[in-house]
Amino acid sequence: MSYITGAKGIVRAFHTALDSAPLDGITQALSDHCSSNYRWRGYHPFNELTGPAQVADTFWRPLRRSLTHMQRREDIFFAGVNSLAEDSSVWVVSMGHLMGLFDEPWLEIVPTRKITSLRYCEFSRVDQGQIIESAMYFDIPHLMIQAGLAPFPGQTGAHLVQPGPQPHNGLLLDPQNPNEGRRTLDLINRMISDLGQWNSGLSLRDELAQTWAEDMLWWGPAGIGATYTIDRYMEQHSAPFRAGFAERSKTQHVCRLAEGHFGGFFGWPNFTARPTGGFMGYPGGSEAGEFRVIDIYRRDHDKLAENWVFIDLPHFWKSQGYDILGSALGMAPSRQ
């Protein structure tokens, strides 16, 4: 437990230093808290970066220059041992929004000069007092919609600036009962076993009801959107997704952990699947593509009550020949 508490302190100190650093101090903030060979996995078009300087120059400094007066609005924070690793590695999870005034272009997106929020979730592995690697997924299409663009006109769920947990209890700053974390992880593992095969022998509704609450909230990425209740989740995401893909590979995760009533995982990629046509309005293809996903869950008693999902859809569709960022930017509205 002390290792987990210490890892949380290291990540919180890093966030404090990073968020308060001036533009010319961002590299130093990263260097002070991350290893020299720091491995950073990110959303398309950033992908994988190495070392504090590259991460600062490629991602953090351009973002901070664009979203002025940026602040971290954290909704979920927890940590634990990676259940998939043999080395008892400790990871810390932070999820929320990076909010600021969109004052300068970012990735060629025209600024609005209005409040804009970038959804993010970050997994950070801590070892010997340093952050060794991170997976940071963020929803760029979600930001694009706030800027007046339409990167995915076929979205089936709702577009929202997504809230944190319904009980407002997602910041686990203090040690938690380890039995609660084990219950959460066991439930997540059962859900993965049910849904990962797409062939449980049950109806989709019965399959979902085994591990999900009837009033489940599924906070999906832009392009799919948010849904509420099992029935609307089936209608607005799960059934269309299964109908739109074939040849789904087995689930593979880099990290899976839980603490208290919260847990999650990420993969690089999580799985591959081939589009058969119709999903998000796009035609089918002959090649499978990668799905890089982060999932964060809240357990309520013996069911999963909420799920925040980050999917690198631009990366997947680029593998199918569609440049989501470029095509949407070509339709950018004029600004006075």
Burial of 223 (0-12, 13-18, 19+ CB in 10 A): buried
What pLDDT score does 280 carry?
Answer: 84
Using the predicted structure, report yes or no on whether residue 97 has a pLDDT greater than 70: yes
17 and 114 co-located in one domain: yes
Per the structure, how many domains does the chain have? Answer: 2
Global confidence as pTM: 0.95
Total residues found in the chain within this entry: 336
Does residue 134 share a domain with residue 232?
no
Mean local confidence (pLDDT), 183-194: 94
pLDDT at 318: 93
Say if 171 falls within a structural domain: no
Whole domain around residue 237: which residue ranges? 178-327
Question: What is the predicted pLDDT for the residue at 277?
Answer: 86
Mean pLDDT lowest among 97-106, 109-118, 236-245, 261-270: 236-245
Regarding whether 102 and 233 lie in a shared domain, the answer is no
Domain shared by 183 and 136, yes or no: no
Kindly state whether residues 194 and 322 are assigned to the same domain: yes
* Mean pLDDT value of segment 8-17: 98
User: Does 157 map to a domain?
Assistant: no
Region 299-308: mean pLDDT is 98
User: What is the rounded CA–CA span in Å between residue 303 and residue 188?
Assistant: 9
Tell me how crowded residue 296 is: count the other CB atoms within 10 A of its CB.
24
Question: What tokens does 295 get?
Answer: 């999932």
Tens of pLDDT, residues 195-217:
755 666 788 999 999 999 999 99
Taking residue 107's Cβ as centre, other Cβ atoms within 10 Å add up to 15
Do 15 and 139 lie in one domain? The reply is yes
Q: What is the pLDDT of residues 126-139, one digit of tens each?
A: 999 999 999 999 99
Q: Tally Cβ neighbours within 10 Å of residue 160.
A: 11
Report residue 86 as tokens.
């043999």
pLDDT of residue 333: 44
Q: Report, in angstroms and rounded to the nearest whole number, the Rg of the chain calculated over CA atoms.
A: 19
Tokens representing 196 are 């990962």
Least confident of 37-41, 49-53, 247-251: 247-251
pLDDT for 336 equals 35
